[in-house]
Chains A and B, each alone.
Chain A
């Protein structure tokens, strides 16, 4: 158990819909990261927040957005869902924003039908 909690674990939704994935970082961690793992793409970095502020952006689509709240939990919002958005979405956290070990949650399986 990494200490990073993600909900829901599984989600099935229809194309065009919007979903929200939730992440609670490890106690004391200020940085939260979102990664996407699809079958043919490996682990792709989406976005990073540090203490409520966006710090780095990766291959995140404009239909996706994220935020980190004052209690440090984070949400990833996925809208206008397409079949290709089906993937495993991981949240991870670390103490700081520099060279720290990143710990991953168990992921949220999103299936778009």
Chain B
């Protein structure tokens, strides 16, 4: 039972355009969400997070949107750069589960020059 799903295994975007990565979840107890970026042979690197009391959080080129009613979150990268090419994981946690993160399967983003 996948509680966090990233339905697009890959995404290709032109440099300078917007990248939109999507994530859906089923557990209504999740109330904290994070995005991680992962390069091959490296550990996941934290990008940005959002708690369920917000619907948007912005950090530089990265913005995360949360739609609680749809149990959907998205990561927007504007403008996309070739160095953004990596696998992006969304993760979720529930207050009553401490800091245990449940990860989606990841989306491979390729930004073409």
Contacts and interface: CB of A to CB of B under 8 A. Distances in A.
A94 interface: yes
A104 to B, nearest CB: 4
Contacts of B99: 31, 33, 48, 94, 96-100, 102
Contacts of A48: 98-100
Interface stretch (B11-19, B75-83, B102-110): B102-110
B32 A42 contact: no
Contacts, number: 66
A99 B51 contact: yes
B43 A42 contact: no
A104 B49 contact: no
Interface in A61-109: 90, 92, 94, 96-107
Nearest to B43: A104
Interface residues of A, number: 28
A104 B44 contact: yes
A2 interface: yes
A58 B49 contact: no
Contacts of B105: 42
B98 A101 contact: no
Interface of B: 32, 34, 36, 41-46, 49, 51, 89, 91, 93, 95, 97-106
Interface of A: 2, 4, 31, 33, 35, 42-45, 48, 55-56, 58, 90, 92, 94, 96-107
30 contacts: A2-B45, A4-B43, A31-B99, A33-B99, A33-B101, A35-B103, A42-B105, A43-B44, A43-B91, A43-B101, A43-B103, A44-B103, A45-B100, A45-B102, A48-B98, A48-B100, A56-B100, A90-B44, A92-B43, A94-B99, A99-B95, A99-B99, A101-B46, A101-B49, A103-B46, A104-B43, A106-B41, A106-B42, A107-B41, A107-B42
